[in-house]
């Protein structure tokens, strides 16, 4: 049953992405000012939003762990954070390539880019810290606090281009301001949905691995006791 769900989510997400790729390449006209590279928006921004959504899901799991001490929530949190890191990396890499053409630079330490990079580094720290903690309850508790603390950066990433005096080279918001062409809205939404479907499938696989790892820990303890 679970295998079927993983395959259904993964395959439907991939098919949606392929359908969207066809729309982006063959149907949508190029962006008026930027040309073809402007279409990078349709993968760059949905990847960022998918990453942020998953970080908040991980925060919810972390809070649930702290409340219940149920390790299933810890497994879910680490799985979701790892997948969110993949989407954040896609956001950073595609943004860098886009910036190279439009700004003439690969990177700049402006408000939004720096905060998004900080977000990536904070959660990378979360993932690197976990293997260093041997005791399961201590590992899960500290990880939950780190996940919640690191999430404080996400609203700052979101706000970085909305604060009037923010020093940023990044363009302003396009979704809620009505400056995004209506024809671009559906492919934008499809990209986000496809990322969430693929992300859910990957997170489910990762949860299964985390549960197996916990079984390995208990078998090791059992062997040690024998």
Partner 1 sequence: MDLNQTYFFYGYSAAWLIVLGFILILIRRGQQINSELQRLKALVEDKDK
Q: Which of 39, 112, 115, 139 binds partner 1 (CB under 8 A)?
A: 39
Query: Which among 56-64, 84-92, 128-136, 167-175 is the span making contact with partner 1, rule CB under 8 A?
Result: 84-92
Q: Which of 45, 90, 140, 146 binds partner 1 (CB under 8 A)?
A: 90
Nearer to partner 1, 89 or 193 (CB): 89
Q: Which of 60, 64, 86, 156 binds partner 1 (CB under 8 A)?
A: 86
Sign of CA dihedral 81, 194, 115, 178: negative
Instruction: Check binding of 190 to partner 1 (CB under 8 A).
Output: no
Nearer to partner 1, 96 or 169 (CB): 96
Instruction: Check binding of 5 to partner 1 (CB under 8 A).
Output: no
Residues of this chain that bind partner 1 (CB under 8 A): 21, 34-37, 39-40, 43-44, 47, 83, 86, 89-90, 93-94, 97-98, 100-101, 198, 202, 205-206, 208-209, 212-213, 215-216, 219-220, 222-223, 226
């Amino acid at each position: 049953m679970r295998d079927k769900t993983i395959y259904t989510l993964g395959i439907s997400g991939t098919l949606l992405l392929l359908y969207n790729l066809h729309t982006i390449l063959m149907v949508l006209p190029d962006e008026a000012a930027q040309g073809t590279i402007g279409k990078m928006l349709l993968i760059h921004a949905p990847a960022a939003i998918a990453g942020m959504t998953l970080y908040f899901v991980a925060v919810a799991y972390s809070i649930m762990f702290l409340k219940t001490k149920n390790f299933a929530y810890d497994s879910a949190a680490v799985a979701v954070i790892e997948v969110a890191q993949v989407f954040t990396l896609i956001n950073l890499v595609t943004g860098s390539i886009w910036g190279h053409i439009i700004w003439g630079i690969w990177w700049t330490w402006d408000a939004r880019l720096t905060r998004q990079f900080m977000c990536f580094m904070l959660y990378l720290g979360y993932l690197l810290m976990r293997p260093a903690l041997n005791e399961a309850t201590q590992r899960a508790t500290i990880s939950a606090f780190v996940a919640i603390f690191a999430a404080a950066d996400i609203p700052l990433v979101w706000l970085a281009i909305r604060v009037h005096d923010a020093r940023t080279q990044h363009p302003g918001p396009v979704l809620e301001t009505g400056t995004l062409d209506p024809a671009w809205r559906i492919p934008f939404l499809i990209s986000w949905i496809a990322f969430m479907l693929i992300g859910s499938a990957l997170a489910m696989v990762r949860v299964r691995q985390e549960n197996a790892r916990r079984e390995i820990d208990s078998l090791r303890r059992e062997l040690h006791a024998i």
